[in-house]
Amino acid sequence: MGAAIFATVLAVLVSYPVPTLGQTTAKDVSKKTVEAWDTVKAYSVEKKNDAVAYGKKLVRESDDKIKKLEAKSAKASGETKAKYDETIKDLKVKREQTARKLDEMGKASGSAWDSAKNGFADAYKDLHESFEQAAAKFR
């Protein structure tokens, strides 16, 4: 029964729509970050494939957000464009760090699992908080 409850909660979290930049409040973003972080940390090694799939979904969503910022940067000029470009560069670095941690999580087993999934969860949280800061900067 506990597994059924966990599966239901996970299904709700995975299907939770991710708000786009400019349409979110800081509270929404913080809540989504905590939910995603907690979801990843809740996976057991037996559910590694599910955890990796969820992690890939989070990374893809991050890629989409970066592309949206790149589109806005292309339309901007001067100091605003420079700020967009700097932010995008920083986000891409954090996205790559997150992807590396996801790869480590995918390869982890047994005793390394907790460390790997926590490493990914922390990297994703850092990336997501950087998006939050970017959204606040460009409002």
- The SS3 assignment for 21 reads coil
- The SS3 assignment for 12 reads helix
Angle at 10 between CA 7 and CA 13, to 5 degrees: 155
- Report pLDDT digits (tens) over 90-134: 999 999 999 999 999 999 988 898 899 999 999 999 999 999 999
Inter-residue contact 19 to 32 (CB < 8 Å): yes
Q: How far, CA to CA in Å, does 67 sit from each of 63, 99, 134?
A: 6, 16, 13
- The predicted structure's pLDDT at residue 25: 54
**Is 14 a residue whose pLDDT tops 50?**
no
- The predicted structure's pLDDT at residue 70: 95
Mean pLDDT of 58-81: 95
How is domain 2-137 classified at the architecture level of CATH?
Up-down Bundle (1.20)
Mean pLDDT of 73-100: 96
- Report pLDDT digits (tens) over 15-62: 434 444 445 555 665 566 667 756 776 777 788 889 899 999 999 999
**Is 72 a residue whose pLDDT tops 90?**
yes
DSSP string for 28-54: HHHHHHHHHHHHHHH--GGGHHHHHHH
Inter-residue contact 107 to 15 (CB < 8 Å): no
- Per-domain residue ranges for the chain? 2-137
- The predicted structure's pLDDT at residue 122: 95
The helix-helix angle for 26-42 and 113-137 (nearest 10°) equals 170
- The predicted structure's pLDDT at residue 30: 59
**For the whole prediction, is pTM greater than 0.85?**
no
- The predicted structure's pLDDT at residue 26: 53
Phi-psi category of residue 97: left, alpha or beta, with phi > 0 → left and psi -120 to 50 → alpha: alpha
- The predicted structure's pLDDT at residue 139: 80
Q: How far apart are CA 117 and CA 108, in angstroms?
A: 8
Q: How far apart are CA 24 and CA 36, in angstroms?
A: 16
